[in-house]
Amino acid sequence: MSLNHAPPPVPRLAALATATPPFDLAQEAVARRAGAIFAAESSGVQRPSPIYRNARIEHRQACVPLEWFDETHGFAERNGLFLEHATALLSEAAGRALAEAGLGADEIDTIVTVCSSGIATPGLDARVMETLGFRRDVQRLPVFGLGCAGGVIGLARAAAMARAAPDSHVLLLVVELCSLTFRRQDHSKSNMVATALFGDGAAAAVITCRTDTVSPAAPRLGPWGEHTWPGSLDVMGWEVADDGLKVVFSRDIPTLVRDDLRPVVDAFMARHKLRLADIDEYVCHPGGAKVVDALEDCFDLDRGALGHARDTLRDHGNMSAATVLFVLRASLDAGGGGRRLMTTLGPGFTAAMLVIDA
């Protein structure tokens, strides 16, 4: 006697929307302002101009104007701004994603919220509930501490929850307001690099296995996976200082990408009976210009092949967890089907990977 096993439900990306705050910061203006600030704070500080030029960023968006960075701000003020603007940005992105999916907020069963650049208790998801009409019994999963890896891991967690409840709709919310972590008295290279890279942004995605509310052509999510290297807690992250979050970049991340990422990705692909030869496009988090170069070397791509990642970095900077979802949105907007591999790296030190078929 044979048993017929139904295939596992397939999570699909029903919608993906992004949102950015209102203040556009031209990189040249930021470089001039930062140079003046750091020079005023210390006569012996390293000139930051080359760091800004080498970042290959033209514009970034921030939730505060450029003049805000002239003053010293405490943790309480920073976090108050974070709560206000993160809630507003997530509400905007969520509204766009729901409209794209053709769903009402009351049709969402689960909300997964990813953020590492501020502290929210009650969580950001509970605050967004006050602005949008979610059901009072919606399930909430706030996730903190993933940093730049949060976009891919958040998408994977949302897909796993959709697969576990195939009749549900899952809303993924991702927001980072890294500009609020600027520390004018910190003259470390890590702080200067962060000041040259970080921007603010949010993204929202609707994921479901339902076939009645999503187009058969919607991108299919999975497989996904992660790898955390041993002894790597000091590679990147935040330290909590008296005036807020202090960025940690303590190792050569581009070298880690070139030397250590490819074996991890190859092993992930092999576990799922795939090869990199099966990938039509790479959707990678552009941590910085040198990281993008290293990713192209890692995957044996021509220089400039990661065009959507480079464009996102140029136009928005590094928005931590949200960035890779901006890259994915650009990739989907460009059209074309095939198989995409999403990758990102974050604190842990952790690589996250997810395959998308469209």
Q: Cα 176 to chain center, whole Å? A: 8
Q: Say if CB 156 and CB 118 are below 8 A apart.
A: no
* DSSP string over 45-92: PPP-HHHHHHTT--EEEESS-GGGGGS---HHHHHHHHHHHHHHHHHH
Q: Which two tokens stand for residue 199?
A: 């921007």
Nearest to 12 by CA among 137, 101, 139: 101
Q: Which residue among 148, 178, 209, 284 is the active-site one?
A: 148
Q: Which tokens belong to 153?
A: 């891991």
Report whether 113 contacts 123 (CB < 8 A): yes
Q: Tokens 């600027």: give the residue.
A: 182
Residue 284 annotated to the active site: no
Q: Scanning the structure block, which residue is given the tokens 């919220």?
A: 113
What's the CA gap between 350 and 188, in Å, rounded? 24
Please name the amino acid found at residue 54.
Answer: N
- Residue in the structure block whose two tokens are 């405490």: 74
149 in Cβ contact with 343 (< 8 Å): no
Give the residue numbers annotated as catalytic, written as ranges: 148
